[in-house]
Amino acid sequence: MNIKITGSGCYIPTEIVTNKDFTKHIFLNDDGSPFPLPNEVITEKFYDITGIEERRYVSDELQTSDIATIAAKRAIEDSKIDSETLDYIIFAHNFGDVKKHAIQGDMLPSLASKVKHNLRIKNPKCVAYDMLFGCPGWVEGVIQATAFIKAGMAKKCLVIGAETLSRVVDPHDRDSMIYSDGAGATIIEATSDEGGILAHESATFAFDEAHYLFFGGSFNKENNQDIRYIKMYGRKIYEFALSNVPKAMKECLENSGIDISQLKKILIHQANEKMDEAIVQRFYKLYDQKMPEGIMPMSIHKLGNSSVATVPTLYDMLVRGELENQSIQKGDIILFASVGAGMNVNAIVYKM
């Protein structure tokens, strides 16, 4: 028995927000003082660091569970399974459903239960639950689905990663330009086909690192400080990621028994182009090798950082041939990797 991704789907929101759209923002320092550079310079430097030209936001009427449902339907259709045969729905997100202009997230009922309801699944044995694991949530959901299947507790699982970060960003914080919305979903299934999940690795670093990403008040001190927004210590996250993600990737690859020369693609969480490139370069440096050209498909330039949605969306676009100059074939080896709030790190070695 092998455990494979037998179907995938994603939802890319329709609202395009370019870097130029941020030139009208009033950016402040964390103490509320005016940021000294003009917005045109801020956005130019932002692009140079992150590689983000534009990002996608959901339209006003949609919430996280809505776009997750769309991605889930597409994954189910792609896998050609009956949704009533699903054993688990594992939904990775971080903030719940956040309505436009709302001041709190809605996680009652759980978003997984909302998706199950939206899919009109009657089977009570299909267990639906949410996972809060930062940006690596979808990867961790796949790892959990794999464990359920190996333990004989499941045969088919739906794993979703979806987020609407546009609803939880502080418009006065320059970091707000990084974040976006999106949803990706996959069917994880026991199959007799060759390949599948060969190894996985997970870790949580919380002794000193737990609060590198956190909820905080607006940089505009005149705004209601009880309304909380996603905040981060970017330099600390960058240094943490460069130190810990390559090690996790190497350990995962070694546990799989796959030689690094066999890797065809690395699908890494789309956090920041320069950071992702530095992580993969350092991973190859652990083997005294240079990073191969084209090894790391990217979607961040046009889609931004949609947290848990980046990796499954990237996978879906890759297998559908929707990424320019990128393709994948049956039998190819992929390494999934992610890092995010918690601080959590994980990786999967997968054979198509």
Packing angle of the helix pair 310-319, 137-150 (nearest 10 deg): 80
The whole-number pLDDT of residue 226 equals: 84
The whole-number pLDDT of residue 296 equals: 96
pLDDT averaged over the chain?
A: 95
Instruction: Give the tens place of pLDDT for each residue, 223-279.
Output: 888 889 999 999 999 999 999 999 999 999 999 999 999 999 999 999 999 999 999
User: What is the rounded end-to-end Cα distance, in angstroms, of the chain?
Assistant: 15
The whole-number pLDDT of residue 59 equals: 96
CB 158 within 8 A of CB 146: no
Number of Cβ within a 10 Å radius of residue 17: 17
Packing angle of the helix pair 39-50, 273-285 (nearest 10 deg): 30
The whole-number pLDDT of residue 104 equals: 82
Question: How many residues belong to the chain?
Answer: 352
The class that CATH gives domain 198-351 is alpha beta
Q: Look-up: residue for tokens 């929707």?
A: 322
What secondary structure, in 3-state letters, does the chain show? CEEEEEEEEEECCCEEEEHHHHHHCCCECCCCCECCCCHHHHHHHHHHHHCCCEEEECCCCCCHHHHHHHHHHHHHHHHCCCHHHCCEEEEECCCCECCCCCCCCECCCCHHHHHHHHCCCCCCCCEEEEECCCCCHHHHHHHHHHHHHHCCCCCEEEEEEEEEHHHCCCCCCHHHHCECEEEEEEEEEEECCCCEEEEEEEEECCCCCCCCEEEECCCCCCCCCCCCEEEECHHHHHHHHHHHHHHHHHHHHHHHCCCHHHEEEEEECCCCHHHHHHHHHHHHHCCCCCCCCCCCCCCHHHHCECHHHHHHHHHHHHHCCCCCCCCCCCCCEEEEEEEECCCEEEEEEEEC
The whole-number pLDDT of residue 24 equals: 86
**pLDDT above 90 (res 83):** yes
Token output for 179 = 């974040």
Instruction: Give the tens place of pLDDT for each residue, 209-239.
Output: 999 999 999 999 988 888 899 999 999 999 9
**pLDDT above 90 (res 101):** no
Express as a percent the part of the chain with pLDDT over 70: 100
Q: Please give the Cα distance from 79 to 67 (Å, whole number).
A: 19
Domain with CATH 3.40.47.10 in the chain: 2-193, 198-351
List the one residue out of 315, 233, 231, 238 whose CA is nearest residue 273: 238
The whole-number pLDDT of residue 301 equals: 95
| Cα dihedral across residues 274, 280, 285, 289: positive or negative | negative
Options 1.20.200.10, 2.60.120.620, 3.40.47.10, 1.10.760.10; CATH of 2-193:
3.40.47.10
CB 84 within 8 A of CB 77: no
The whole-number pLDDT of residue 224 equals: 86
